[in-house]
Structure 1
Amino acid sequence: MRNRPIATGSKTRARLTAALLSACLPFAAHAVEPEIRTDDVERFYALYNAADGHPSVAQLDEYLAQGSPSLKEFAQLRRVTGERIAAQIAADPAMYRNARQCLALLPKVKRRVATALRKLGELYPQSTFPPVAIVVGRGKPVGITNPSGVTVGLEALCAADFMNPDPEDRFVRVIAHEYAHIQQPFAALDLPEGDPRVNVLSMSLTEGGAEFVAELIAGGVANPGLAGRVRGQEQAVGEAFLREQDKTDFSQWMFNYKKGSDAPYDQGYWVGYRIARAYYRRADDKRAALAEILRMPDPKAFLTQSGWTPGQ
């Protein structure tokens, strides 16, 4: 399940195979803070401002051609072209104007991410820390994560205020969530649609586990709004989850956010987080528990050992 798009509404995450573009270096106590690349977004906004908010397709193609390896990979995998960026700017100019507010937050985001990843390295010494790249794309997806790193679309994540109204917290905790995925062997697998291992339970524990790790190292989950969508329905959602845990169609449980709708979405994230939290709280050895949450060798056994029950 490589090159996983950071979804805010896609029906499924793409499973594309890509070579590693950079080494994943182990984190050490003496290491410099994790690299967060912002040169692409800075080049974009220099161009955007010079063009008074209306860069041409040719200028945007040049922006992509001169981009970092992360931007070029992002563009190739997610079909980002100068023409598509120009069309999105025309369709939603406010998205790109407003994203400059998030650009101004990046120095603080970088410092907080560094602190969070140091904590992850202390709690899970096997962690690897490839770069984070902040880029500008065509409004979606929010980004992609694979072993070569995390690439985030500034304009897309800045606009995703339904996840968290505080943009600084949103960036920090989404990056922390995605770094958890980098540590998860299951998230790196290239499994086909319909594989029995890719089911409601395994996907929910993968996403919910990453949410728990984000809370542990960065002070909160990436999408705190999910809890409000489930409030009052905890028992029913949990019981439905147990009934459907083996289904390979998980479209009702995640990646089903619809803009403007008040309907519940990504409930698998919420249930998986609750299961991971229950497992961690029950464990005497917290470091070993975190390792199990990340490695997840047997989802069924993990569910049983967590002690979680519907309604918790």
Structure 2
Amino acid sequence: MMTAGLAAAMALASPAWTKGAGASLDTADVDLFYRLYDASGGRPSAEQLQAGYIDAGSPGLRTFFVARRTTATRLAEAIAARPELYQKARACADVLPKVKGRVDAALERFTALYPQARAPSVTVAVGRGKPVAIGSPVTGVQVGLEALCATEFMNPDTEGRFVGVLVHEYAHAQQNPLLTEKEKPTVLEAALLEGGAEFVTELLVGRPAYVYFEPLTKGREREIETAFAADLDKTDLSAWFYNSTPEKPADLGYWTGYRIAKAYYANAKDKRAALREILTVSDARALLAASGWTPGMTLE
């Protein structure tokens, strides 16, 4: 079932798709934001943000805001509460040209491994500090510049962090919309979506986007995954997803889903077919059974 937010987002934006092309990073909304930010002395009002940024911005910007319930009022409050976030983001944007080159190389590898791959345009915008990014086969990819710049705990290397997150979101854009747009996915379904994107990121750039998982999980693999196995069919995702903070990194459903996807790929004779199934999975239980995954198993 489609949510009201998703339906509104779909009405706002239909992403431009290309096959076998490099990354298209649209930063016009960032430029628009900082012109208004400077003109208002760094304290734009909700009215100024609505007229001069949200209404004047791209369809991708409005899709991003609708999907995550960001309003002009919430954005004005975030800017007033955390001015350093917006000052830092401007300098952080300087890495984008190098990021694009590395993402282009990853997408070239992606097309070689998965010829069906499509590359949506990516909207880089400024939001209220969250989310970092969203990717969908329906509405494309949107990135919150200020949020991604601030999440050093994900990966302390800014350039590497941007590359990993963008490739992760490109993977989401290939996935099965029957799962990505499902109103109440199970813990296992969400794990295969997020973990599948993490596995694809590792396959393309040599490491997952969320590099903090390794030290967080080392020596606790069986404990974490035994708890995960008990929650597979739950639709309350709060214990496993979207619960990280800089003070307490979490989101361990990403990590467990990544390990299931990796086990499935390692167990498959036809790697191209395995990659296709990881990206387009519709039967989460069948993929789990075929993966041979067990809690705490050793993976290369």
State TM-score, norm by structure 2: 0.89
Q: Which residue of 2 aligns with 1:127?
A: 117
Partner residue of 1:231 out of 201, 218, 239: 218
Q: Distance in 2 between matches of 1:202 and 1:58?
A: 40
The range that moved more, 269-278 or 140-149, is 140-149
Does 1:16 pair with 2:3? no
Q: Which residue of 2 aligns with 1:34?
A: 23
Q: Which residue of 1 aligns with 2:242?
A: 255
Per-residue deviation, 1:76: 3.0
Q: CA RMSD in A?
A: 2.3
List alignment gaps of at least 5 residues for structure 2.
none
Partner residue of 2:266 out of 281, 296, 301: 281
Aligned partner of residue 144 in structure 1, secondary structure: strand
Q: Distance in 2 between matches of 1:212 and 1:36?
A: 23
Q: State the AA in 1 paired with 2:255.
A: W
Q: Which residue of 2 aligns with 1:45?
A: 34
Q: Which residue of 2 aligns with 1:143?
A: 133
The range that moved more, 14-23 or 162-171, is 14-23
Aligned partner of residue 103 in structure 2, secondary structure: helix
- Show the 5 A alignment for 1:40-189: 40-61=29-50, 62-146=52-136, 147-186=138-177, 189=180
Partner residue of 1:25 out of 17, 26, 34: 17
- How many residues are matched? 293
List alignment gaps of at least 5 residues for structure 1.
4-13
Per-residue deviation, 1:242: 2.0
- Show the 5 A alignment for 1:198-277: 198-261=185-248, 265-277=250-262
Per-residue deviation, 1:122: 1.8
The range that moved more, 221-230 or 43-52, is 43-52
Aligned partner of residue 183 in structure 1, secondary structure: coil
Q: 1:80 to 1:23 in 2, by over 3 A?
A: closer
Per-residue deviation, 1:85: 2.2
State TM-score, norm by structure 1: 0.86
Q: Distance in 2 between matches of 1:187 and 1:162?
A: 32
The range that moved more, 177-186 or 205-214, is 177-186
Q: Distance in 2 between matches of 1:115 and 1:22?
A: 25
8 Å CA contact 2:202, 2:208 repeated in 1: yes
8 Å CA contact 2:17, 2:118 repeated in 1: yes
8 Å CA contact 1:24, 1:128 repeated in 2: no
Q: Distance in 2 between matches of 1:241 and 1:276?
A: 15
8 Å CA contact 1:102, 1:168 repeated in 2: no
Q: Distance in 1 between matches of 2:5 and 2:207?
A: 28
Q: State the AA in 2 paired with 1:290.
A: L
Q: Distance in 2 between matches of 1:74 and 1:225?
A: 26
Per-residue deviation, 1:183: 1.0
Q: Distance in 2 between matches of 1:279 and 1:309?
A: 11
Q: Which residue of 2 aligns with 1:9?
A: none
Q: Distance in 2 between matches of 1:2 and 1:278?
A: 31
Aligned partner of residue 240 in structure 2, secondary structure: coil
Aligned partner of residue 118 in structure 2, secondary structure: coil
Describe the superposition over 1:7-48 as per-residue Cα deviations: whole angstroms up to 9, x where unpaired.
xxxxxxx973343623553413xx4x2321001102222332
Aligned partner of residue 247 in structure 2, secondary structure: coil
Q: Distance in 1 between matches of 2:31 and 2:265?
A: 40
Per-residue deviation, 1:273: 0.5
